[in-house]
Amino acid sequence: MSARSASARKKSTQTHSRLPHLPRHRTDSIYEGKAASSISSGSDPSECDPSGIERSGLRSLIDKRSDNVRKGLSKAFSFGKKDEATLSPVESRSLPEWPSASSHPTGPYPTPYPTSPRTEETPEINWPTPPPSTKLPSTPPPVLKRFAGGGRPAKRWNKLRKDPELWDQNGDVLVFLGQSDEPSLRVSSQVIEASRNKYLMMELQQSIVEDDYEDGISYELSFPPPPGLTRTESLRHQMTTRNTFALIHRAALVGLSLYQALQDLETRLQREPEILSQLLHYIVARGLDDVRNNPEAAVSILAWSDRLWAQGWREAFVHCVGMHDSLESCTDWPHVPAVTKALLGKSNLEMSLLIQTAEDRLADFGFSDMIPLDCNKSVHSSARAFQLFLRKQYVAVYGAWPPVREEGWLTRSLVTTLQQDLGALYELLVDRDVSWDVSEARAGRKWMMASCRDHSFDADSVIPMTDIVIEFDNRARIPHIPGPHPLLPEHVPASRQRDKRVALAYTESVNMDALERCASPTDLLTAFSRFEKEDLSVDAQLARRARWIVLYGALQTLAAISVDTPGLKYGAGVDYHLIARVKAPSWAQTWPFSDPSHSMSYCFLAPEDVGPPGMSTSPSSTKSSANHDLPIRQRMDMTTSLGSLGSFLMTDEKKSVGTDAAQTLVIRDFDEEP
């Protein structure tokens, strides 16, 4: 070997010994850095590659500049990341540090780590996750509920092992629901035989026990779940068996949901004759169709009664429309058919539009726009004064008007209150002698106001009352109120005692019999009497007509949202609206139900209840004036403010309900959950 080669090798060895202990990774970068450091330190640029081949000074300089260019490009494309000059390749990849072979002095000792390129990167091995060392938590059992009916909410239930509601100490039949040796039910064989349930009677005949069985037990019925069922399916099988006995004992149902309980019971007993009739009798007797303020029950009855029970479906439908915002979170909502969901959405939208229109009008009792602009200024001022009076009256009651609520402020109970107050005011002021005179043969106007006593009566002498009322009703496409005109006070000429005479005229131009029929006059009537006697700056007849126009508009607006859907059994205590229009479903063979009608409101039916004989009414009110068409809520409410409207209202309707014309069930009061 030449002296130059030995000198180069010695210099290379010395250079290696001066390198720091770098990780063994990307050896080409290490060697390139070594050459660059030797040049920068002023050493001989003629060095050898790691292979031992000598490099000239020009080659080392070119390699150094190439290395600088590569670093510059890498830094430019790192977008502000940590400088590679301060971050070694090993640090950037977060690999374990491995000493470089160059960090060990040359000598007879072998390097502790091989320099093969195969060890440059250590592959990451994903070892399988070991099984858990502790026991996994068990799946929680399904939540069982008891459905008592009668408007009571469902409650959690966990008495399947021994049901106290179906445990008769004098019973002679033990019922085993599962594989347990302990019975779950104890009932009387006489009740089973009286029910004529073929399914249970057949099982009863095959389960006679020995005569010497203790405690008077004569039968043992066992209903183990079939093999191969899941835990939930097995539980449903046991609950359905239990509900079969609850059906014949008129006990409460239990289940995961009311729909599931009814559906499984119907499926189990589908071979029984008239099973649907038995279930309907049971539902009505237990009050399971009372879904007031209970969206879960309403959705369950709606889903189950689809294609089975038109009356129950319609009742649940109306309540679901009123509670529409709470339906999607209900357990049985997925079981409601898509067509029914679409009908619910449509009815809810129609109802919301009616309520919004009424809210816009009644927020400030803004009906002065009914009065033509060319009318006397005194008419407009009197109308505005009456609007302010109404607002002030209800601000005193509710603290603000409209009342402050997070959602819609015009609730069903508030509509009832307004109907009571304004209906009582209508009864106080209406002229029962004036009615509509309808003539198709009359040239020009078909509808005119006429008095049956005063043939010289002119409704339009000062204000065009007829045109105002007809135009308002035609715009809204609603029928005219039968009593369209108020009582007018006598004209009082100017005199020294004019104020007292005007006050007396106001007092005499009211229906005193309405006050006599009123059990307790409302605060509005008392305040209105004072208001009229204090507002003496305007002609009394002019002012009374202006106030009547505002009252007429408010009553017509309330009539659109105050009539419940006819034929509902349950409505008391409900604050959401029950005015949904229910379209007959495609599966209903007959549909003997009607929708809410404007002409079923109080002002249309009041003339027949309290008016004098022979008084004329509008044709639209004659069609729907039967007492049974009037929603019970309105009759009860108006009875409170105006006295009795009929003796039939005193009957307790909650004690008897009819499934049809030929059947009537007497409802007993059921005990609470034992």
Each residue's pLDDT tens digit, 128-167: 777 777 776 767 778 999 999 999 999 999 998 899 999 9
- Mean pLDDT for all residues in the chain: 78
The pLDDT value recorded for residue 77 is 61
321 with 396, same domain: the answer is no
355-408 pLDDT, tens digit per residue, is: 999 999 999 999 988 999 888 889 999 999 999 999 999 999 999 999 998 888
Q: Is residue 185 within a helix (H) or strand (E), and if so which, with residue range?
A: strand 185-187
292 with 374, same domain: the answer is no
Amino acid in the structure at residue 336: V
Q: How confident is the model at residue 124 (pLDDT cuts 50, 70, 90)?
A: low
Mean pLDDT calculated for residue range 269-286: 91
Mean pLDDT lowest among 250-254, 300-304, 635-639: 635-639
The pLDDT value recorded for residue 274 is 86
What's the CA gap between 489 and 496, in Å, rounded?
19
Do residues 615 and 430 touch, judged by C-beta distance below 8 A?
no
pTM above 0.75, yes or no: no
Q: Please, what sign has the CA dihedral across residues 517, 521, 524, 527?
A: positive
450 with 534, same domain: the answer is yes
Question: Please, what's the b/e burial string for 151-160 (b: 16 or more CB within 10 A of its CB; e: otherwise)?
Answer: bbebeebebb
Question: What is the C-alpha radius of gyration for the chain, rounded to an integer number of angstroms?
Answer: 45
Res 188 pLDDT > 60 = yes
Count of positions (residues) in the chain? 674
Within a domain: 35: yes
Res 571 pLDDT > 80 = yes
Mean pLDDT lowest among 5-9, 283-287, 356-360: 5-9
The pLDDT value recorded for residue 565 is 96
Res 534 pLDDT > 60 = yes
Beta strands in 18-165 (DSSP E): 47-48, 54-55, 145-147, 155-156
Percent of the chain with pLDDT over 70: 70
Within a domain: 152: yes
Max CA pair span of the chain: 148
Q: Please, what sign has the CA dihedral across residues 588, 590, 593, 597?
A: positive
Mean pLDDT calculated for residue range 231-240: 94
Residues with Cβ within 8 Å of residue 1, at least 6 apart in sequence: none
Mean pLDDT calculated for residue range 577-584: 94
Q: How many Cβ atoms sit within 10 Å of the Cβ of residue 527?
A: 15
417 with 276, same domain: the answer is no
166 with 278, same domain: the answer is yes
Structurally, how many domains does the chain consist of? Answer: 3
Mean pLDDT calculated for residue range 96-109: 44
Residues with Cβ within 8 Å of residue 585, at least 6 apart in sequence: 306, 307, 310, 313, 339, 340, 343
What's the CA gap between 54 and 51, in Å, rounded?
9
The pLDDT value recorded for residue 596 is 92
The pLDDT value recorded for residue 666 is 35
Nearest Cα residue to 142 out of 225, 227, 255: 255
449 with 522, same domain: the answer is yes
Residue bearing the bigger pLDDT, 307 or 72: 307
Within a domain: 577: no
Residue bearing the bigger pLDDT, 175 or 97: 175
Do residues 601 and 418 touch, judged by C-beta distance below 8 A?
no
Parallel/antiparallel/unpaired status of strands 173-176 and 219-222: parallel
Within a domain: 162: yes
Residue bearing the bigger pLDDT, 495 or 39: 495
Alpha-helix residue ranges (DSSP H) falling in 250-376: 258-268, 275-286, 295-305, 310-322, 338-362
- Per DSSP, the three-state class of 459 is coil
Within a domain: 339: no
Do residues 241 and 177 touch, judged by C-beta distance below 8 A?
yes
192 with 57, same domain: the answer is no
277 with 150, same domain: the answer is yes
Mean pLDDT lowest among 123-137, 294-308, 319-333, 433-447: 123-137
405 with 546, same domain: the answer is yes
- As a whole number of Å, the end-to-end CA separation of the chain is 109
Res 659 pLDDT > 80 = no
Mean pLDDT calculated for residue range 482-494: 86
Mean pLDDT calculated for residue range 409-421: 94
The pLDDT value recorded for residue 142 is 86
Do residues 176 and 183 touch, judged by C-beta distance below 8 A?
yes
The pLDDT value recorded for residue 51 is 52
User: Domain ends where: 311, 329, 347?
Assistant: 329
Nearest Cα residue to 319 out of 339, 344, 336, 340: 344
Is the bond into 372 cis (omega within 30 degrees of 0)? no
Alpha-helix residue ranges (DSSP H) falling in 509-584: 512-517, 523-534, 540-559
Residue bearing the bigger pLDDT, 35 or 204: 204
The pLDDT value recorded for residue 473 is 94
- Per DSSP, the three-state class of 627 is helix
Mean pLDDT lowest among 407-411, 463-467, 632-636: 632-636
Is the bond into 105 cis (omega within 30 degrees of 0)? no
Res 199 pLDDT > 90 = no
Mean pLDDT lowest among 383-387, 551-555, 619-623: 619-623
Parallel/antiparallel/unpaired status of strands 155-156 and 145-147: antiparallel
302 with 378, same domain: the answer is no
Mean pLDDT calculated for residue range 233-251: 95
Within a domain: 404: yes
Do residues 149 and 287 touch, judged by C-beta distance below 8 A?
yes
Q: How confident is the model at residue 441 (pLDDT cuts 50, 70, 90)?
A: low
105 with 198, same domain: the answer is no
Q: How confident is the model at residue 196 (pLDDT cuts 50, 70, 90)?
A: confident
Domain that holds residue 271: 145-329
Q: How confident is the model at residue 612 (pLDDT cuts 50, 70, 90)?
A: very low
Within a domain: 256: yes
Q: How confident is the model at residue 633 (pLDDT cuts 50, 70, 90)?
A: very low
Do residues 37 and 111 touch, judged by C-beta distance below 8 A?
no
The pLDDT value recorded for residue 50 is 54
Mean pLDDT calculated for residue range 89-105: 44
User: Domain ends where: 302, 329, 356?
Assistant: 329
260 with 201, same domain: the answer is yes
Within a domain: 357: no
